[in-house]
Amino acid sequence: MLSVHTENIGEMAVIECEGRIVRSEAAYELRKAVNLQSDARIIVLDLSEVTAIEGGGLGMLVFLERWANDHDIRLKLFNPRPAVRDRLEHASSMREFDIATLDEMMALLDCADGRYAHTLPYAAASMVHSLGGS
pLDDT in the model for residue 90: 80
pTM of the model: 0.81
Quick check: 20 and 27 in contact, CB under 8 A? no
Return the domain boundaries, the chain. 2-128
What single-letter amino acid sits at 21?
A: I
pLDDT at 95: 60
pLDDT of 115 strictly over 50: no
Contact 38, 9 (CB under 8 A): no
**Segment 41-50, tens digit of pLDDT:** 999 999 999 9
Domain 2-128 sits in CATH 1.10.3720.10: no
Residues 62-73, mean pLDDT to the nearest whole number = 94
Count of alpha carbons within 13 Å of 76, Cβ hemisphere only? 18
User: Both ends of the chain: CA-CA distance in Å?
Assistant: 27
Average pLDDT over residues 54-67: 92
Mean residue pLDDT across the chain = 84
Q: Please tell me the predicted confidence (pLDDT) of residue 110.
A: 77
Taking every pair of Cα atoms in the chain, the longest distance, rounded to a whole number of angstroms, is 40
